[in-house]
Amino acid sequence: MTESTTPDATMATSAATSAFRERIARADAQAEEHAAARQHPKGKHTARERIAMLLDADSFLEIGRYSGSGAGEGARPSGVVTGFGQIGGRQVAVYSQDFSVSGGALGTVEGDKIVRLLDDAMRLSIPVIGLIDSGGAKIQEGVAALRQYGRIFNRTCAASGLVPQISVIMGPCAGGAVYSPALTDFVIATREASHMFVTGPDVVRAVTGERISAEELGGADIHGSVTGVVHYVAEDEDDALDQVRTLLAYLPSSSDQEAPRYAYEDADRATDRDAAAQVGSLVPASPRQPYDVTAVVSAVVDHGELVQVQEDFAANVVVGFACFEGRPVGVVANQPLVDAGTLDVDASEKLARFVRFCDAFGLPVVTFVDVPGYRPGAEQEHAGIIRRGAKVINAYASATVPLVTVVLRKAYGGAYIVMGSKAIGADLNFCWPGAEIAVLGAQGAVGIIHRRDLQQVREEAGEQAAAAEQQRLVDEYTQTVINPDKAVAIGEIDAVIAPEDTRTVIVDSLAALAEKRDERRTPYRKHDNGPL
């Protein structure tokens, strides 16, 4: 009689269970030891260590650990770890590619696991975090591996706008694999270890003869500051995973849920009110003098905390997340410290995609405007500023979340229109005293309107007299045209506010708009056809 059939035998003590424990413990220990030997010398963590670092302690439920091999004598892990866990007590779906298993290459088994996870995340309405570290597709599987990338792309697109998706690049990501993270909402990359490119240095050299390193071609810094593919460049893996947790703290778990609301005490209110009272001293009165708009935003948001997105890319605009009395919002601001805060092709795309993200997930958008216009020049025109700048119009005009706009010093021409103006769809618009809102600044307008008059003065009375006349005309134009009175009179500006009241006005505006819903009745359409 075998042990399993003895009268006192239980499933806990059966030979099958005992053998299973030993077999799995041995397989797991060998796999993790092998992974550590591959990853640790490079300063990288294993796939499971990364998940443990990301999630709340002891919250990970792994799914499909031995998919492809079974749990018998041949048990072995696949090239990706998938499952569910919690971050700050909120449920998330996570997958982590295991570079120690065939270089993390994606094949049928790995693709099936990721696709299932994405399907489950949509069904459960929870965020998805992908930890990327893979050499690409399994060459030996041919089109079957390529098929899996297509299926992942399909599910990623299906999940877009339904649940937040965050990709963390912790190693190589090349070929078709780069499009999977590129389709997600946020891409975080470690500075030293990560690389992203469609064709690697060897292919580039073979086809074009150009010699370039992986870092120069597709390193984190390149994608963080030049291409805009990466939203946050992390110093190391710990920093990268911290950023994931930080982002999720401002986001809802899905598009049909609200973002977390945080406790906000009277002591916090008093501290933030005192900080906000000083905001006017941070901005020079001269519209031509630069300043750091992030200091302005920090002065008026809760605890001075602004989490920037794409900080190193298109730095002439600032986008990011903050809170007002415990409520998360998206923040958009022109940055006079960089290129005078002008809008260009990169800034337009950065701004537009961020506004669309906030709209998809129900986050109000607060816009701080100090913009002289679009950056002039043939380079911008030939780069498609018309088409790409129009994306900002589409983003604001189609947004249904609360939109609050504050003009700090100036807003000229088309740039005024697109930066959350009342006409384009903002709910509540304010400006500081003396804000200049016009087609052109006074100097430019006078130079065009009175060009012949000034030329005549110059010819008859000399350069000094012409300069004096020009200054008189500039002062006159400023008083009669570009002050905020006309904008207030026609309802484009709801109120002129003192700088120290900015935080209070924004808080009250968000409270007034808290129940805003999309009530527009439009004929059925599948979607718009904005300028992609």
Token pair in block for residue 349:
């795309």
- The structure tokens listed for 492 are 């484009």
Do the beta carbons of residue 374 and residue 342 sit within 8 Å? yes
Catalytic hit among 64, 68, 161, 414:
414
* Dist CA 179 CA 160 (whole Å): 14
Q: State how far the alpha carbon of 357 is from the alpha carbons of 248, 383, 519, in Å.
A: 13, 24, 20
78 Rama sector, left if φ>0, alpha if ψ -120 to 50, beta otherwise? beta
Structure-derived torsion over alpha carbons of residues 70, 73, 78, 82, reported in degrees to the nearest 10: 60
Residue 401 in 3-state DSSP? Answer: coil
Q: Which of 35, 47, 347, 415 is catalytic?
A: 415
The C-alpha atoms of residue 207 and residue 156 are separated, in whole angstroms, by 32
How far apart are the C-alpha atoms of 19 and 31, rounded to whole Å? 18
> Tokens at residue 44, please?
């990288």
Token output for 442: 């006074």
Phi, psi of 313 (to 5 degrees): -110, 135
150 close to 113: Cβ distance less than 8 angstroms: no
Q: For residue 268, what is the enclosing H or E element?
A: helix 266-276
Please say if 176 is a catalytic residue.
yes
Cα Rg of the chain, angstroms: 28
Task: Name the active-site residue from 175, 224, 330, 373.
Answer: 175
Active site residue 415: yes
Show Cβ contacts of residue 425 under 8 Å, excluding neighbours closer than 6 positions.
396, 397, 399, 403
CB of 429 closer than 8 Å to CB of 405: yes
Q: Residue 408 is inside which H or E element, if any?
A: strand 403-412
CA distances from 441 to 11, 288, 475 (A): 82, 10, 11
Q: Which of 64, 68, 176, 304 is catalytic?
A: 176
Answer whether 401's CB lies under 8 Å from 408's CB: no
Length of the chain: 532
Residue type, 95: Y
Residue 414 designated active-site: yes
Q: Give the tokens for residue 523.
A: 């004929």
Catalytic residue numbers? 175-176, 414-415
